[in-house]
């Protein structure tokens, strides 16, 4: 399979290493310094694009590939206000677009555990709920896309909470779900959900030990999506 890498930072390099170890070819390695190289590529020879770039470049990168009928697997966060446009373009071009805030299989199981715990706690009003996420200092968006997905899972079960809010030291109303974002090297990603009361505290945590789990997940999805069409997600891939 010929894979185009849109974004060639630390994640892109690990993805390339894993993809090549699985017998795939890298059709191009595109970053901010060589984006003009896209014009030299032959879209028909590219089976799938994997996009891990930056929030400010994601929409342009994804739409370039989708417009040329190339399926895209995207893991960049911080641009999702434009996602409806990408989804519409995907349908118009009859190709495939796959977005996940996190490609780790373990994290996606954690999403399910988080939502199940939230359903058990939905009527326990004595517990205050909070999220904390820790990432490396190169991560630009805050909170992380993974934290937002976790927050959305809680909000879907907890009717007393209106929305999540980034905790920047201000007083937090009881009907808001605070997310604390920390940037500490070399943390690949740690996410903790806490339910705290006067009587006890319940916590669940997922800690990534390296970026390899994310990169492997992205390559596995790219292999799976190659001949598919439509807007797809980790739920489709994992078929829970």
pLDDT of residue 84: 97
Of 24, 135, 191, 206, which residue is the catalytic one?
135
pLDDT of residue 226: 87
- Known active-site residue 135: yes
Q: Domain 2-103+212-238 has what CATH class?
A: alpha beta
pLDDT of residue 175: 94
Of 139, 158, 191, 206, which residue is the catalytic one?
139
Residue pLDDT, tens place only, 182-219: 999 988 899 999 999 999 999 999 999 988 888 999 99
Please state the pTM of the whole predicted model.
0.79
Domain segments of the chain as ranges: 2-103+212-238, 105-207
Q: Mark the ranges of the chain whose per-residue pLDDT is less than 50.
A: 240
- Between CA 70 and CA 48 the distance in angstroms is 6
Q: What is the CATH number of domain 105-207?
A: 3.30.360.10
Which residue in the block uniquely carries the two structure tokens 């009717």?
159
């Amino acid at each position: 399979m010929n894979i185009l890498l849109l974004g060639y930072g630390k994640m892109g390099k690990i993805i390339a290493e894993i993809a090549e170890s699985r017998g795939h070819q890298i059709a191009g390695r595109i970053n901010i310094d060589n984006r003009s190289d896209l014009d030299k590529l032959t879209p028909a020879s590219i089976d799938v694009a994997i996009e891990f770039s930056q929030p400010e470049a994601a929409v342009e990168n994804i739409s370039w590939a989708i417009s040329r009928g190339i399926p895209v697997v995207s893991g960049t966060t911080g641009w999702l206000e434009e996602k409806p446009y990408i989804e519409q373009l995907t349908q118009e071009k009859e190709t495939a677009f796959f977005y996940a805030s996190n490609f780790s299989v373990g994290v996606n199981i954690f999403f399910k555990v988080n939502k199940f715990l939230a359903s058990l706690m939905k009527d326990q009003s004595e517990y205050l709920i909070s999220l904390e996420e820790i990432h490396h200092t190169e991560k630009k968006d805050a909170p992380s896309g993974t934290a937002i997905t976790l927050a959305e899972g809680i909000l879907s079960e907890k009717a007393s909470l209106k929305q999540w809010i980034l905790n920047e030291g201000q007083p937090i109303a009881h009907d808001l779900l605070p997310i604390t974002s920390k940037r500490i090297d070399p943390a690949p990603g740690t996410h903790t959900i806490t339910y705290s009361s006067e009587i006890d505290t319940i916590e669940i945590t997922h800690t990534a030990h390296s970026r390899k789990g994310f990169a492997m997940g992205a390559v596995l999805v790219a292999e799976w999506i190659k001949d598919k069409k439509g807007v797809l997600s980790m739920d489709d891939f994992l078929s829970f």
